[in-house]
Chains A and B, each alone.
Chain A
Amino acid sequence: MPGRLVTRRRLLPVLPALTLVAMLGPVVAGLYGTVLPAFGHLPAAGLTGPSLEAMRGLFDWPGLPRAVTLSLTTGITTTAIALAIVMGLVAGWSGTAAFRALERALSPLLSVPHAAAAFGLAFLIAPSGWVARATSPWLTGWDRPPDLLIVQDTWGLTMTAGLVIKEIPFLLLMTLAALGQTDAPRARTIAASLGYGRVTGWLKCVFPRVYAQIRLPVYVVLAYGMSVVDVAVILGPNTPPPLSVQIVRWMGEPDFAARLLANAGALLQLALVIAALAVWRLAEGVVAWAGRRWIATGGRFCGDRAIAATALGLSATAAFAIAGGIAVLVVWSFAGFWGFPDAMPDALTLKNWMRHAAGLGDALTQTAVIAISVTAVALVLTIGCLEAEHRHGLRMTRRGMWLLYLPLIIPQTAFLPGLQTLLLNAGADTGQAPVMLAHLVFVLPYVYLSLADPFRAWDVRNATVAAALGASPDRVLWRVRLPMLLRPLLTATAIGLSVSVGQYLPTLLIGGGRVSTLTTEAVALASGGDRRAIATYGLMQTAAALVPFALALGIPALIWRNRKGLQHG
């Protein structure tokens, strides 16, 4: 018996270390692999550095100023707008019926992959999109699509909009989680009793506490908005594209000079994100300083109604944009001939689905194999970490939280090119297994973040009682703790699956173009403009991410239908 205990003690505490390696190993390796070629060192091509050749080439590229500007503006604008809308919404409406309705729509909206949401938005607002069709010709007078550059506009405004509608659900979810730890209802009551308006009181009392809690997710949004590739390919400008897209284009070119440029660009992307984060951090200080002065003025109102109404209107618009986008994808996927400006196609047909059935099937299988394996590994590592924490008191510190967010904050375009180069140099094959490892980098943090709170909130007296009844720690874990945590476990699983399903860049770069998932296939169709094909792949991608969420809701309700104590929460 003591012998067995010793082995367990050896195995379990290794898991946190293993988790860190799985999560940060590829990031560190990738950054290392980026730095070398960025300074002209690429032995596979017979190049030995260091040289500034690649850097010079990058700065000679005429599109650079524009690409850099786009990267900065889309990232910062997206974050500022999404954050403002979410804060206004929570300030004005939390605790009301309208808020609860939006809350319910949250999980499905969150799980719609970025690419599918971007396609949906494009199909809605393009000159020949649903909005134009629905209002033509009776309102607009158009009998053919107007010659306007709405999608892929030069300033990246549509791209920013596409990012904002997807980041609102994410920030809202993070804010709701943070609100639980901020004692917001009582602060609101106090502020109200002192005569403060709903929004003003919230902004002055609760916002500072909430922001401290959601700071890291906000940084994630900022870094993501600056370096996103799939949304930029679908909605962003083309000539020149944002820096991240250009990096991927260079990576796709066969000659080594382009590869060097790509890695130099990746390094620049990293520098840009770090600089933007630093500026954002400074801005936080300025806002805090201004906020203190504003609080000191003692003003009770600041256009409370207007802020609340605007925030609700904008978030509802975002929700409808995603939902409407999915709806228009459904229509296109079944559309026969659909002339402008008809609001609906002449006929609905299964032809599109049948034409793409084989391709969809292959891509779905590939997507599922990767997502399920990666999520399973992520769950094992996460549960191992949390159980090690429970048994041996190995608790995650505040610094540990930063490590968890690091893979989400360091831009994918900064380290994935280097990781691919490193894999090629090492002679390792690109393909499914490396893709899974790359997905794990992004799936692990989300699975961990979603499971950690419920796991820790579980009443440990249950473990004491079970142990007093003679149950070993393993038996307590398998027979008591995990069954009681079935609901959060399934939610974490669904989140893991949907994160993996949505991954574009890791699949593309680390798969060496030979791993085709629903996401890579859908994004690859973007340039072709075959709306019916895009619609089927986009919908399939959405379904692959949404169905697990539906199951995560349904399965506990079914299994615990006779267990009142587990039906809520």
Chain B
Amino acid sequence: MDKGLTLQDVRISKNGAPMVSLDWHIGPGQVLSVMGPSGVGKSTLLSFVTGTLPPAFAATGRVLLDGRDVTDAAPHQRMIGILFQDDLLFPHLSVGENLAFGLRPGGSRSQRRAKVDAALAEVDLAGFADRDPATLSGGQKARVALMRMLLSDPCALLLDEAFSRLDAALRAQVRDLVFARARDRDLPVLMVTHDAEDAAAAGGAVVTLG
């Protein structure tokens, strides 16, 4: 079957008025950038892909992930990771517990702890497991959020303006990290952004809405 994320003739309308339509296949390791001004329905497109489309919207079309039709699957059964512009680390859990939340079940306590530590080391945050996420810098939080998502073994990655809250220097750094990790794991990436620099850095196809 086709590896990658396929949006098959997706059309989203709000209260009957057409909003977004897209038909695209994103292969493993490829990035599709969806651009357009705010309010045009970029985030709505992502919520359709994650299965959290608000009730005011209606959508037709299918979402295929590695050939598997996930359009009607519950959000938590889709294996589609997402990063928002806010890190959304759970404030009641430590950094390590946040990562363990993402890590798929299975394995002994020590094995799981080792995986969490390895993930932290991979983004230069070794020893941060017991820290309170609120005490981390913006760049550190972004890296933890990325690793939490990758530990859940997603089959695709969605980026919802994921870099827009970071300042310029940090943004390029985090962006490169995210794209590099996605390529390493052969993940198809669907990114919505209003920043042309993000799209250029992604290096893939660009679709402009609105």
Name A's B-contacting residues (CB within 8 A): 1, 5, 393, 459-473, 475-476, 479-480, 483-484, 486, 560, 562-566
Q: List CB contacts (< 8 Å) of B13-48 with chain A.
A: 47
Q: Could you tell me if A461 and B152 are in contact, using CB atoms closer than 8 angstroms?
A: no
Residues of B within 8 A of A486 (CB): 92
Provide the residues of chain A in CB contact with B107, threshold 8 Å: none
Using A464-B82, A484-B90 as known contacts, say yes or no to A470 and B52 having CB atoms under 8 A apart: no
Contact A564 B135 (CB under 8 A): yes
Residue from B52, B86, B91, B154 within 8 A of A563 (CB atoms): B91
The residue in chain A whose Cβ has the minimal distance to the Cβ of B43 is A461
Give the shortest distance, in Å, between B153 (CB) and chain A (any CB). 8
| Smallest CB gap from B104: residue in A | A470
Are A563 and B134 within 8 A (Cβ)?
Answer: yes
Cβ 8 A contact of B152, one of A5, A464, A470, A479: A470
- Whether B88 contacts A468 by the Cβ 8 Å rule is no
Q: Are B135 and A468 in contact (CB under 8 A)?
A: no
Q: Tell me whether A469 and B90 are in contact in the complex, defined as CB-CB below 8 angstroms, given that A464-B52, A464-B75 are known contacts.
A: no
Q: Which of A461, A472, A480, A560 has the most CB of B within 10 A?
A: A461
State whether A484 touches B80 (Cβ < 8 A). Answer: no
CB contact under 8 A between A565 and B149, given known A461-B88, A467-B76, A472-B76: no
Provide 18 A-B residue pairs closer than 8 Å at the C-beta atoms, listed in order of the A residue.
Answer: A393-B55, A459-B86, A462-B90, A465-B84, A468-B75, A468-B80, A468-B81, A468-B82, A468-B154, A469-B149, A470-B76, A476-B76, A483-B92, A484-B92, A486-B92, A560-B92, A565-B91, A565-B92
- Residues of B with C-beta under 8 A to A484: 90-92
**What are the interface flags for B68-91 relative to A under an 8 Å C-beta threshold, 1 for contact and 0 otherwise?**
000000111111111010101011
With an 8 A cutoff between CB atoms, is B143 at the interface? no
Let me know if B186 is at the binding interface, CB within 8 A.
no
Judge whether A565 and B134 touch: CB under 8 Å.
Answer: yes
Asked if A566 contacts B75 (CB within 8 A), the reply is no
> What residues of chain A lie closer than 8 Å to B90, measured between beta carbons?
462, 466, 480, 483-484
Please, which residues of chain A bring their CB within 8 A of the CB of B55? Answer: 393
Complex CA gap A460/B78 in Å reads 18
Residues facing A in B129-161 (CB within 8 A) are 132-135, 148-149, 152, 154, 158
Partner of A468, one of B86, B92, B104, B149: B149
Q: How far is the CB of A169 from chain B (nearest CB, A)?
A: 31
Question: Which residues of chain B have C-beta atoms less than 8 A from A479's C-beta?
Answer: 101
Known: A484-B92, A563-B134. A473 touches B76 (CB 8 A): yes
Given the known interface contacts A459-B88, A483-B92, the answer about A471 and B134 at a Cβ–Cβ threshold of 8 Å is no
What is the distance, in angstroms, from A250's C-beta to the closest C-beta of chain B? 52
Interchain CB contact (< 8 A) of B86 among A5, A461, A463, A476: A461
Q: B50 touching A467 by the CB < 8 A rule? A: yes
Q: Is the CB of B81 within 8 A of A469?
A: yes
Pick the most buried of B92, B101, B104, B154: most chain A CB atoms within 10 A of its CB: B92
**A472 CA to B105 CA in the complex, in Å?**
13
Instruction: Give the CA-CA distance A467 to B133 in the complex, in Å.
Output: 20
Roughly how many angstroms separate A476 CA and B158 CA in the complex, as a whole number?
A: 20
B82-115 vs A, CB cutoff 8 Å, 1 = contact: the mask equals: 1010101011100000000110100000000000
Closest to A561 in B: B132
